[in-house]
Amino acid sequence: MKLVLATNNKGKVKELTTMLQPLGFQVVNIGAYPGFQEVVEDGDTFTANAIKKAVAAAKFTGELALADDSGLEVDALGGAPGVHSARFAGEPKDDAANNRKLLELLAEVPEEKRTARFRCVIAIAEPDGKYHTVEGTCEGMILRELKGEGGFGYDPLFYVPEYQQTFGELDAAKKNAISHRGKALQKAREILNHLYANQEG
């Protein structure tokens, strides 16, 4: 049974593929379906955007599709960049520019007020448009400089006190074990197992 990953983010693809591997699906990237138009992520919530991406991909491909909408919520910025995380510094999407903007905005913010969390909503959609959503979060702090070469996006600025490392320093397996995406996918497993078991042929 195929499961289409409705994301163009290579970092997400890598993490999701690793975590989905034990479930038995044939995981395919949306890139394998030419002509699929990237959806406009204009929802007010991660959930709305995740549903929009998953349903569009499931309808287009006729397969089960999984989308991830995620981002960083910084308390000192009132929850920004939130749903606007990918384009925080404007178009086109640019991780390095986003990190620079975040550091600039937080320049005067003291350590104890640099709390933040990653949030991830995963939506799973069936070809008929039916969908399910699950959510995961991971708490951390925003550093004053980049640390670590791993991961993607805001990872080098996101420090996890429990591990005393950033997401950019943690190895992939550790990040997946504690991340917003890992937690959401853990919950998605139940839905996916159910869909897989109910599959004919």
Structure tokens at 11: 């970092």
For residue 165, the minimal CB distance to Mg ion (Å) is 26
Q: Is 75 a catalytic residue?
A: no
**Total Cβ atoms within 10 A of residue 22:** 8
**Total of chain residues touching ligand Y43, rule CB under 6 A:** 23
For residue 201, the minimal CB distance to ligand Y43 (Å) is 30
User: How far apart are the C-alpha atoms of 4 and 8, rounded to whole Å?
Assistant: 12
Given Mg ion, ligand Y43, none, residue 182, with its beta carbon under 5 to 8 Å by kind, binds: none
User: How far apart are the C-alpha atoms of 2 and 196, rounded to whole Å?
Assistant: 10
Told to check if 16 binds Mg ion by CB under 5 A, we report no
Told to check if 151 binds ligand Y43 by CB under 6 A, we report yes
Torsion angle of the four alpha carbons 97, 72, 113, 146, in this order, in degrees rounded to the nearest 10:
-40
**Residues 42, 44, 68, 69: which is the catalytic one?**
69
Q: Which residues lie below 8 Å from residue 51, measured CB to CB, with a gap of 6+? A: 43, 67, 123, 125, 131, 133
Told to check if 140 binds ligand Y43 by CB under 6 A, we report no
Q: Which residues of this chain interact with Mg ion, rule CB under 5 A? A: 41, 86
Q: Which residues of this chain interact with ligand Y43, rule CB under 6 A? A: 7-9, 12, 41, 68-72, 85-86, 93, 98, 118, 151-155, 167, 179, 181
Catalytic positions, please?
A: 69
